[in-house]
Amino acid sequence: MASRTHDQNGHRQHRARGTSGQPSARESHTLDRLPPTLCVEGQEGVEMLRGVVQPNPVARRRRLGQAFVDVCCWGASLGVLFFVLRHNTGAPFTAIDRTIVTAVIVAIHVPVALLTGLYQGRFWYGSSRESIRLYATELCATAGGVVAALAVGTGRVGVVTVALAAPGSVCLANIVRITVWSRRRRHIPSGPHSGRRLIVFGAGDGGEMILRSLLTSKAGQFFPVALIDDDARKSRLEIEHVRVMGDRSCIREVAQRTNADALLIAIPSATSNTIRQVTEIGQAAGLEVFVLPHVDELLGAVAYGDIRPVEQADLLGRNPVEIDMAAIATLISGRRVLVTGAGGSIGSELCRQIQTFVPASLHMLDCDDSALHGVELSLQGRALLEGEGLLLADIRDRAAILAAFERVRPEIVFHAAALKHLTLLERFPGEAWKTNVLGTQHVLNAALATDVLHFVNISTDKAADPSSVLGWSKRITERQTAHAAASSGRHFVSVRFGNVLGSRGSVLEIFEAQLRAGGPLTVTDEDVTRFFMTVSEAVSLTMNAAAVGSAGEVLVLDMGTPVRIVDVARRLAASSPRPISIEFTGLRSGEKMHETLLSRDEDEARPAHPKISHVAVPILDLRAVEGLPTDHATAADLARIAGLPASALLPSA
């Protein structure tokens, strides 16, 4: 029977830019091919790689409406002044003169308004930032109108007309906007509100947008009563009559003064550390805490529907990660990509992120047909299982893997297929040998035979100073990959990282299942720690690492600060409405108290990315190993082979 393979942890990879920091010609070309929905983190919420946020239909209609209002205001103001001045001064304004001047003003006003962000899909609310954008736009349009008036020969009278029309158009535009906003505010109750009284933490762009969304929402679930911000410069700031009442240390006091019962962390770019600290303060004050999605998850402007309760993943894995999107695009766009273990947690996320970079083709390989059904459904919204991109094969089957590679001839391979459950592999080391070691050798051989350019082996932190069957088997795969790189000269690398939040069998998944069952929550030891990262962050950095690594290297991802598992269990237990106990079961065979990302004899360097370490590992040619198990292997076999020095390996006779 074919074994079921699962993917390991993953990260996004990209190539470093040149010293100038500017994209190369190829990078520019590949960026042009990217879909408009591909998001990256930006200064004001979410920016698109192509430079302009693609609006939804409602936002597009609002944007067109605002432009139409401004054009009409300019036209009305100019029309009145042309008429008055012509009949009182005898100015020689012809219909052609009026048309030319008006057309020039409109032709300048609309593009400048788009460039300054004046038309953001909503009517203005009168903030100073919006006013600056308006005045800058009007100034540019007025200057263009003055030049046009002089060019058509209207002289000083034409200049005066345009200069007087500018403030008139501003007044008319503001009257329209204020009228629209006032009509919308009629839906906001002025008296007692039935919604939950909400404190909003964060008075920046995210807080401002969510505040206005709450005030105009007809759902009425929340009613903002106060703002909190750690920036002293925002003290006493008022947005829509909701005032900043202090920093995070004031949350309890503000909650008592306003009778609030909920707290919203309205900072999409907040780190897990910030969310954890503010959540603890809010819960201590008796508030239910909510959060906005991370900026990478947002598809546009922050809105009421984005609010959700704080999850454990927010507390453990929301650290800012800088990703070189252009380098990833250069690596993937227009190329044939194959992912092994595509149905697993890391493999499926790899497929989702790779697809956004417009590869020439994406091939998903797994031995689990149900997993392939699931990943196709998540990518395409349907799962007919008829596409050429689905490959049903077991990496243990050398002939099947070679046939699959020869059929699609991939240029880039992400090898995420593996057995990963430590305790089970301690009992069945032969399965780890057949899948993780021999399976990886089959994939490497197929990649070499079909001239794959880039190969990325997904490893684990358990390969650093390994002490378990899983760790030894993954250490061997790192050394196998290094040997393939050395013998072929191709860009074959490994990427090593720790636990991924949300993956199947992760500690959070286990805790949540135990919580639903009423407990207890089981922890191996009170002092045990582990590294955590969200699956999207892991895959992003994996793709980044593949682009910046040198052939044969192991790229080690910075996982941040290790987390005490018992602290996670206690937070989950505290969130339950009923008492939940915690039991300590003791470390199991092969487990460590504290995982490490680097072996004791490994030196790290970070020449290309602050979150990616480059580590050299000794090569390992399985063909040169004496006494190699032909089928089943013991834990002792795996430990022996993983620890062989490269100098001890001699070509077999």
Give the whole-angstrom CA distance, residue 127 versus residue 240. Answer: 10
Say whether pLDDT at 371 is over 70.
Answer: yes
Say whether pLDDT at 477 is over 80.
Answer: yes
Say whether pLDDT at 241 is over 90.
Answer: no
More confident residue, 216 or 267: 267
* 3-class DSSP state of 32: helix
Closest CA to 552 of 649, 465, 486, 488: 486
pLDDT band at 73 (very low <50, low <70, confident <90, very high): confident
Say whether pLDDT at 50 is over 50.
Answer: no
Look at 23-27, 276-280, 474-478, 635-639 and tell me which has the smallest mean pLDDT.
23-27
What per-residue confidence (pLDDT) applies to 292?
85
pLDDT band at 40 (very low <50, low <70, confident <90, very high): very low
506-541 pLDDT, tens digit each: 888 899 899 989 989 999 999 999 988 888 888 998
Give the whole-angstrom CA distance, residue 243 versus residue 262. Answer: 17
Give the whole-angstrom CA distance, residue 612 versus residue 549. Answer: 9
Say whether pLDDT at 61 is over 90.
Answer: no
Look at 42-56, 389-403, 638-652 and tell me which has the smallest mean pLDDT.
42-56
Say whether pLDDT at 17 is over 60.
Answer: no
* 3-class DSSP state of 314: helix
Give the mean pLDDT of 314-342: 85
CB atoms within 10 A of CB 247: 15
CA dihedral 308, 313, 317, 320 (to 10 degrees): -10
What per-residue confidence (pLDDT) applies to 92?
60
pLDDT band at 247 (very low <50, low <70, confident <90, very high): very high
pLDDT exceeding 90 applies to what percent of the chain?
A: 41
Which residues is 228 bridged to in the sheet?
Answer: 201
Closest CA to 472 of 652, 599, 345: 599
Please give the domain boundaries of the chain with CATH numbers for all domains.
Answer: 58-185 (no CATH), 196-310 (3.40.50.720), 325-498+534-558+602-643 (3.40.50.720)
- The pair of structure tokens assigned to 122 is 């909503």
Exposure b/e, 108-134, CB count within 10 A at least 16 = b:
bbbebbeebebbbbbbbeeeeebeebb
More confident residue, 611 or 575: 611
What per-residue confidence (pLDDT) applies to 458?
97
- The pair of structure tokens assigned to 264 is 């919203």
- The pair of structure tokens assigned to 623 is 């063909």
**Starting from the edge strand earliest in sequence, which strands make up the sheet with 491-496, in order?**
390-392, 361-366, 336-340, 412-415, 454-458, 491-496, 554-557, 612-615
Give the whole-angstrom CA distance, residue 187 versus residue 51. Answer: 35
pLDDT band at 495 (very low <50, low <70, confident <90, very high): very high
Give the mean pLDDT of 639-645: 91
390-407 pLDDT, tens digit each: 999 999 999 999 999 999
CA dihedral 480, 482, 483, 489 (to 10 degrees): 140
Which residues is 412 bridged to in the sheet?
Answer: 337, 454
Burial bucket for residue 398 (CB in 10 Å: 0-12, 13-18, 19+): middle
What per-residue confidence (pLDDT) applies to 399?
97
In angstroms, how far is CA 449 from the centroid of its own chain?
35
What per-residue confidence (pLDDT) applies to 392?
97
Per DSSP, the residues of 326-375 read HHHHHHHTTSEEEEETTTSHHHHHHHHHHHTT--SEEEEEES-HHHHHHH
Say whether pLDDT at 315 is over 90.
Answer: no
pLDDT band at 122 (very low <50, low <70, confident <90, very high): very low
Residue 269 sits at the vertex; the CA angle it makes with 268 and 273, to the nearest 5 degrees, is 110
What per-residue confidence (pLDDT) applies to 504?
76
Say whether pLDDT at 15 is over 80.
Answer: no
Cis peptide before 167 (omega within 30 of 0): no
pLDDT band at 19 (very low <50, low <70, confident <90, very high): very low
Look at 135-139, 285-289, 469-473, 626-630 and tell me which has the smallest mean pLDDT.
626-630
Asked if 307 and 523 touch (Cβ cutoff 8 Å), the reply is no
Asked if 7 and 421 touch (Cβ cutoff 8 Å), the reply is no
Give the mean pLDDT of 449-458: 97
Burial bucket for residue 618 (CB in 10 Å: 0-12, 13-18, 19+): middle
In the annotation, is 462 catalytic? yes
Look at 297-306, 335-344, 416-425, 569-578 and tell me which has the smallest mean pLDDT.
297-306
Say whether pLDDT at 314 is over 60.
Answer: yes
What per-residue confidence (pLDDT) applies to 512?
87
Asked if 222 and 309 touch (Cβ cutoff 8 Å), the reply is no
- The pair of structure tokens assigned to 153 is 């020969």
Name, in order, each residue with C-beta under 8 angstroms of 424's C-beta and a sequence gap of 6 or more. none
Give, for 371, the enclosing helix (H) or strand (E): helix 369-380
Look up the pTM and report it: 0.68
Catalytic residue selected from 420, 434, 462, 592:
462
- The pair of structure tokens assigned to 16 is 């470093």
What per-residue confidence (pLDDT) applies to 442?
97
Give the mean pLDDT of 620-645: 87
Look at 48-62, 313-327, 567-581 and tell me which has the smallest mean pLDDT.
48-62
Say whether pLDDT at 494 is over 90.
Answer: yes
Give the mean pLDDT of 344-367: 95
Give the whole-angstrom CA distance, residue 519 versus residue 84. Answer: 82
Give the whole-angstrom CA distance, residue 20 versus residue 623. Answer: 45
Say whether pLDDT at 305 is over 80.
Answer: no
Give the mean pLDDT of 214-221: 74
Average pLDDT, the chain: 81
Give the whole-angstrom CA distance, residue 194 versus residue 189. Answer: 9
More confident residue, 471 or 560: 471
Say whether pLDDT at 355 is over 60.
Answer: yes
